[in-house]
Amino acid sequence: MRRYSALAWLILALSSGAVQANSRYHQNEQSSSPDVVVDMPPEVWAQGQNRQPDCIRCCIFNNRNYSEGAVVKSEGVLLQCARDEQSLGTNNLIWKIVK
């Protein structure tokens, strides 16, 4: 009987030590957490990743750059990247409907 009581006491002592160590770990974990939390939209973290350099003379469609003469199809309509005769400047390319 003494063996069982000594064994039970040993198990109780070990388990209480583990509980105390676990509670100290969580106290340290909580004390190192930030005091202020700011919600940020996912776009903030994606800025600058996989970004292509700005195109000087290009048309943009679905966040992709196209050079003069490029043709894309959108909703059954063909569009071509071409110069705008009405505009003066360095980036005078627009999308025109191809007939």
What does the pLDDT look like over 60-96, one tens digit per residue?
A: 999 889 999 999 999 999 999 999 888 887 778 999 9
For all residues of the chain together, what is the average pLDDT? 76
Indicate whether 26 pLDDT > 60: no
Q: Sign of torsion, CA 75 81 86 90?
A: positive
The answer to whether residue 17 sits within a structural domain is: no
| CA 65 distance to own-chain centroid | 22
Our count of domains for the chain comes to: 1
Give, for 39, the enclosing helix (H) or strand (E): none
Q: For residue 84, what are the domain limits?
A: 54-97
The answer to whether residue 90 sits within a structural domain is: yes
pLDDT at 91: 74
Lowest-confidence range among 9-18, 20-29, 56-65, 70-79?
20-29
Structural contact between residues 61 and 94, judged by C-beta atoms closer than 8 angstroms: no
38 vs 51, higher pLDDT: 38
The answer to whether residue 34 sits within a structural domain is: no
The answer to whether residue 20 sits within a structural domain is: no
The answer to whether residue 75 sits within a structural domain is: yes
